Structure 1
């Protein structure tokens, strides 16, 4: 089980995504603006973040860039979720430090697959080394 924060101002998209993730056993929080998302990520340190690209109060890319410059949360996997079809927008997000780029409309099963994939990779990189016992 992972703690996942979704920042999405479209209530229907947020609900569909949150339900899919909760049904898979994850704990999910949903916010509808970028400013609250940035504050909550810094305070709660979720295991993974899904950011809408076009959030009110603070754009999703701005939130992403701020996270990547914060020593406490820079390593948190962040997926951008957006209606943009532009390859240029995807490239901008990836260069800003996004873990992945998901397009709306989305398939909840595909999003779940990508989230689980990122969580496994993140845990492999940040897991403590195994303890050795002396005999």
Structure 2
């Protein structure tokens, strides 16, 4: 079970994802703006974050940049889930450090798959770091 935070101002999409991820066995929080998301990430340190690009108070890419600059959070998996469809929006998010860029609308089952994939990559990476240190 992973602790996952979804930050999306689209209530319907957020609830669909929250339910799909909870059905997959994860603990999931849902927030509607970037500022609250960043504050929660800094205090609660989830295992994975799903960010919308266009949110009130703080854009998702700005939240991502804060995460990547924090020594305690630099490797936190972040998936961008957004209605922004241009290649330049995707390039900006990936350059800022997003692990994946998913476009709305999307199948919640596909998001669960991408979440599981990102969590497994993190586990593998953590195991390799631990082995190298010992």
User: Shorter chain as normaliser: what TM range?
Assistant: over 0.9
Structure 1 gap ranges (5+): none
1:77 correspondence with 2:84: no
Aligned to 1:51: 51
Aligned to 1:4: 4
Aligned to 2:37: 37
Aligned to 1:63: 63
Aligned to 1:114: 114
Structure 2 gap ranges (5+): none
For 1:112 and 1:58, how far apart are their aligned partners in 2?
25
Partner of 2:70, secondary structure, is: coil
1:22 correspondence with 2:35: no
Aligned-pair CA distance for 1:84: 1.3
1:91 correspondence with 2:66: no
- Larger Rg: 1 or 2? 1
Structure number having the greater helix percentage: 2
For 1:38 and 1:84, how far apart are their aligned partners in 2?
20
Aligned-pair CA distance for 1:59: 0.5
Root-mean-square deviation (Å) = 1.3
With normalisation by structure 2, the TM-score equals 0.94
With normalisation by structure 1, the TM-score equals 0.93
* Structure 1 consecutive aligned stretches of length 4 or more whose deviation exceeds 4 Å: none
For 1:28 and 1:2, how far apart are their aligned partners in 2?
8
